[in-house]
């Protein structure tokens, strides 16, 4: 009669110590976390991102050039289809320059934001 009750109590104790173990593990993880960030994968990536001033410069310059190039190409394509050679080339070249500048500003904002 008393044995199932005992079992209940045992299980209660077991789940209780389980909870405590989980709690301790969580605390340990919290303690380890900052150390992991100090020299883990994440900092490696961060370091690469910071050290790559060269990469940033290249990203911004290609962004600008690509805008002009794509704008000019789209304009030239439209002109070829419609037979109005200088018109759309000029318009889209200007729009392409604007798009290039927008991309550069966006990329720069994203870089400084992080």
Question: Which residues in this chain contact other proteins in the complex, by CB under 8 A?
Answer: 41-42, 44-45, 48, 52, 54-55, 58-59, 62-63, 65-67, 69-71, 74, 92, 95-96, 98-100, 102-103
**Between 21 and 98, CB nearer to other proteins:** 98
**Between 23 and 45, CB nearer to other proteins:** 45
**Between 48 and 90, CB nearer to other proteins:** 48
CA separation (Å) from 36 to 22, 39, 85?
20, 6, 60
Phi-psi region of 83 (alpha: psi -120 to 50; beta: other; left: phi over 0): left
CB of 99 vs other proteins, minimal distance in Å:
4
Q: How is residue 47 written in tokens?
A: 């370091």
Cβ atoms within 10 Å, residue 89: 20
């Amino acid at each position: 009669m008393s044995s199932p009750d005992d079992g209940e109590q045992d299980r209660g104790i077991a789940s209780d110590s389980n909870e405590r173990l989980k709690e301790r593990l969580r605390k340990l993880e919290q303690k380890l976390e900052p150390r992991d960030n100090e020299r883990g994968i994440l900092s490696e990536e961060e370091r690469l991102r910071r050290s790559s001033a060269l990469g940033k410069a290249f990203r911004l310059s290609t962004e600008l050039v690509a805008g002009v190039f794509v704008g000019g190409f789209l304009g030239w394509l439209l002109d070829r289809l419609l037979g109005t050679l200088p018109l759309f080339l000029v318009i889209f070249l200007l729009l392409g320059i604007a798009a290039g500048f927008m991309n550069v500003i966006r990329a720069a904002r994203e870089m400084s934001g992080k």
